[in-house]
Amino acid sequence: MENRFETGVENAWCPGCGNFGILNAVRRALETTGREKHEIVLVSGIGQAAKLPHYVDVNVFNGLHGRALPAAAAIKMANPGLTVVVTSGDGDIYGEGGNHFIHNLRRNVDIALFVHDNQVYGLTKGQPSPTSDSGWVGSLQRSGVISGPFPPLAVAMALGCGFVARGTAADVDFTADLMAEAIRFKGFALVDILQPCVTFNKKNTYQWYGRMAYKLPPGHDATNRTRALELSFEWEERIPLGILYRKERPAFEEMHPMVPGLPLHLRDTSLEAVREGLRKRTL
């Protein structure tokens, strides 16, 4: 069935790439928002995953490697009425953009972050990423990865992220539902998406995830942070899918003294108006 967010742009991904499932999930999730195309902004950095916004007919900002989150935060602050979604890869977000990931978690900007997590740098031909498994042998790391993997879900919860979830590229409907929940959540929302790289990662395949991954039971208490942290460290034997943790707190743009009110492009930016606004905020 045709989706109103399709662009018709020629796709450059490898056949069988997990990005296709994530693209379909993003389009379905955006449909559930009921928002018009001009009310949505997709932001990405650099990488195969970061090409996704090219294939979705909404506003797009495609930035520098690792710099998707600061651009997204600025967009949300300039116009809080927009739905802002970041969709990029594990290398772009957790590696080059790791510092921005950490501090935007702390700030709690109202952004939904969808990370295509394939444990490899696909665009640059198979180097290990921050989430690569220890011992994994890639195209360039011939002796195997010696660094421990970066645990994104645990880091997110440790820094106060109020919505932490994991999906898979293979289950489009399930992941689209997680994305829709993340978009509706008021505050920073992370959905880490397990995505095979059929060209460069011969370990974390569709079959491997099929054996390892399981969906959290209906009775899972997503408000229990301690239990959610325990689940976030499950990996080699079992990998939990679903919303691990969920708890709202005031979003950054609600608390920042200069953000509430009209979007920046509609404000009176004369020197007198700015001075009067500052005076009122200090009374």
Give the tens place of pLDDT for each residue, 152-176: 999 999 999 999 999 999 999 999 9
Tell me which architecture the domain covering 19-254 has in CATH. Answer: 3-Layer(aba) Sandwich (3.40)
3-state secondary structure the chain: CCCCCCCCCCCCCCCCCCHHHHHHHHHHHHHHHCCCHHHEEEEECCCCHHHHHHHCCCEEEECCCCCHHHHHHHHHHHCCCCEEEEEEEHHHHHHHCHHHHHHHHHHCCCCEEEEEECCEECCCCCEECCCCCCCCCCCCCCCCCCCCCCCHHHHHHHCCCCEEEEEECCCHHHHHHHHHHHHHCCCCEEEEEECCCCCCCCCCCHHHHHHHEEECCCCCCCCCHHHHHHHHCCCCCCEEEEEEEECCCCCHHHHCCCCCCCCHHHCCCCHHHHHHHHHHHHC
Q: What are the extents of the domains in the chain?
A: 19-254
Give the tens place of pLDDT for each residue, 183-220: 999 999 999 999 999 999 999 999 999 999 999 999 99
Does position 269 have pLDDT exceeding 90, yes or no? no
Does position 2 have pLDDT exceeding 70, yes or no? no
Give the tens place of pLDDT for each residue, 16-40: 999 999 999 999 999 999 999 999 9
